[in-house]
Amino acid sequence: MRYDDCVAFYCWWTDRESRRFGSSVGRLRWQNHLRWFAENIKNPLWFVGEIEDTYEHSFGIRRRSGDYRAIGALRVDSDAVGGGKWISIVLAPEERGKGYGTEMLRRLLLDQEHRVLPLHARIHRFNLPSQRAFEKAGFRRCRRDDGVWQYWVCEGLTTAGADR
């Protein structure tokens, strides 16, 4: 992981579309992000470059082949209350709509040898590109709370009672 990855990740998360559909509220300050990044880069539970299963959380950066430029990131966090894992994904604005989100999600599902299920994602009801990416990767829409759809992967790549 390099400093320019930290800068790229900050730019992706502070992009207008990312903030519009993201679960974080308020302004993301550079100094807070830098501190968070510096602390987590040393965390042995974070795996950079590959999306791997962990007991706590994992983080992977997707790089473009050829120039090795960071183009997206996927994070998986443990759900301390309900079990399973929560997934968040962000892409560089210029790389959206090219299938990288779906690719990263599919790789996550394939790479998790000792998968902790269910896997969850909360997606804003107006964020159609993310909904499509998760559905293409095998997630199923399960329910809507306050304008946010929940997508799950349980046994295999489907869950019973999907609400469409």
Q: Which of 28-42, 63-77, 91-105, 109-123 has the least mean pLDDT?
A: 109-123
Question: What is the structure's pLDDT at 124?
Answer: 83
pLDDT digits (tens, 9 = 90+) for 124-151: 888 889 999 999 988 888 877 776 777 7
pTM (2 decimals)? Answer: 0.70
Question: What is the structure's pLDDT at 136?
Answer: 92
Other Cβ atoms closer than 10 A to 35 = 11
Mean pLDDT for the stretch of residues 62-69: 73
Residue 119 backbone dihedrals phi, psi, to 5 degrees: -100, 135
pLDDT at 69 over 60: yes
Q: Hey, what are 102's tokens?
A: 């779906």
Mean pLDDT for the stretch of residues 70-78: 79
Mean pLDDT, all residues of the chain: 71
Question: What is the structure's pLDDT at 132?
Answer: 92
Other Cβ atoms closer than 10 A to 10 = 18
pLDDT at 113 over 50: no
Question: What is the structure's pLDDT at 58?
Answer: 60
Is residue 84 a contact partner of residue 117, using CB atoms and an 8 Å limit?
yes
Looking at per-residue confidence, does 104 or 4 come out higher?
104
DSSP, res 42: T
Class of domain 3-153: alpha beta
Which residues lie below 8 Å from residue 53, measured CB to CB, with a gap of 6+? 111, 112, 113, 114, 115, 116
Measure Cα distances from 134 to 31, 78, 123, 158 in Å.
32, 19, 9, 12
